[in-house]
Chains A and B, each alone.
Chain A
């Protein structure tokens, strides 16, 4: 049973790649399997193969499947100490540049984009920065660009923001109505939302800071390595890379290209080449 299902999963991932160029073949398989089984149950298919049949012939099924495969619910200022470290240790360096490029890779529904935008506003760096928010899921990108979150999440966002050393009040940045909080468009007028895949796409600009948190834990090791190589090649000399609190460069072949800049917070700095 389980062996057949494993085969079906392999075939479905191959089908998604061949038909739609979405490449999940090197995603960590155990998580993908959980997500596909959830998708199968929610979408009402008896088998993964039946789901594959449908998604191959009916493109409207793709976004629904992508939702299960990619969307990550995060929080604003998730891991407040990470943002505190950016504020206190990284931004003093970034301040020395006349203009800045920041890449939020795997921006999902935008929580981290708004967090960084607020941080940069508070530190007076927003106006000289361009933020690139990229994801492979078009619906997630649209949600990120909309910047609307249900109001029940705001308490946690506010708490995180304060713990991160926030200098303003989060409520300055959103308007609440009808159970939703809509974040101000002044937080995204310097954000470029764009489709980009760490699996198949290449370098697109020279960055001063790349934040890619809890994205690579979904990759297998070879794919993690590809992504880290891409980050290395995308960073300016002495640029910064921030990862999720349980991610590290330790197992990567590119580890030598970085120094551990804020060790506990998984903030790395690109060595001089």
Chain B
């Protein structure tokens, strides 16, 4: 595997996100030791119901990201609806109301590109199911800095457009099923 130990995981998902994330996040062990930054496309007007849902299902801590909050290990941060979530240059999460990217706010590209900037090769980026191409440029940014690029197998995905676009942008990305993603992440975050 890559030389740098992974320090953070970024996950992006759109159509079919809830089922995909339910297969992954609750399966992570309580001892999981990396921060997980999650962008899910949700309609802007709806209050984000994902956080309470995943809080009730996960063994790791789950919360909605707050502006300028230091990123802690073993915590999953969800982007609030209608805000972009970024990793700041001091390692805090930051929010922004900049205009939508790929018609999306939060946008997966915005998270992944800023996280790639901060974590470099110590970042693992995961693109899950979705019906658009957000995240493709972001995953490429992760791969370009030497991070680990992972894409849900489009054949098994609820919506294949997003993983397919990510693979087109980053052909070297590893293709995995939900179970393989769980296994891979667990091995990153609990080995030490």
Contacts and interface: CB of A to CB of B under 8 A. Distances in A.
Contact of A30 (B66, B83, B89, B97): B89
A31 B86 CA distance: 8
B174 interface: no
B88 A246 contact: no
Interface stretch (B4-12, B110-118, B125-133, B154-162): B110-118
B110 A34 contact: yes
B113 A34 contact: yes
B2 to A, nearest CB: 18
A217 B96 contact: yes
B114 A34 contact: yes
Interface centre among A30, A74, A244 (most CB of B within 10 A): A30
Contact of B88 (A30, A74, A248): A30
Contacts of B99: 73
Contacts of A72: 97-98
Given A72-B97, A73-B99, A218-B96, A246 B67 contact: yes
B163 interface: no
Contacts of A214: 97
Nearest to B113: A34
A33 B117 contact: yes
Contact of B94 (A6, A28, A35): A28
A114 B97 CA distance: 20
Interface in A229-255: 244-248, 250-251
A70 to B, nearest CB: 11
Interface residues of B, number: 23
Interface in A176-218: 214, 217-218
Interface centre among B87, B90, B145 (most CB of A within 10 A): B90
B80 interface: yes
Contacts of B89: 6, 29-30
A87 interface: no
A224 B68 contact: yes
A221 interface: yes
Nearest to A163: B45
B95 interface: yes
A217 B95 contact: yes
A251 B114 contact: no
Contacts of A244: 97
Interface string A141-169: 00000000000000000000000000000
A35 B117 contact: no
A33 B89 CA distance: 10
Given A2-B117, A2-B145, A73-B99, A30 B67 contact: no
Contacts of B96: 28, 31, 217-218
Interface in B75-89: 80, 83, 86-89
A217 B145 contact: no
B68 A246 contact: no
A35 B87 CA distance: 15
Q: Which 10 A-B pairs have the closest CB atoms?
A: A30-B86, A30-B114, A29-B89, A214-B97, A31-B96, A217-B67, A28-B94, A30-B88, A246-B95, A217-B95
20 contacts: A6-B89, A28-B88, A28-B96, A29-B88, A30-B89, A30-B117, A31-B86, A31-B96, A34-B98, A34-B113, A217-B97, A218-B96, A220-B90, A221-B68, A244-B97, A245-B80, A246-B67, A246-B95, A247-B67, A251-B69
Interface of A: 2, 6, 28-31, 33-35, 72-74, 214, 217-218, 220-221, 224, 244-248, 250-251
Given A30-B86, A30-B89, 15 more contacts: A28-B94, A30-B88, A31-B94, A33-B117, A34-B86, A34-B113, A72-B97, A72-B98, A217-B67, A217-B68, A217-B96, A221-B68, A245-B80, A248-B66, A251-B69
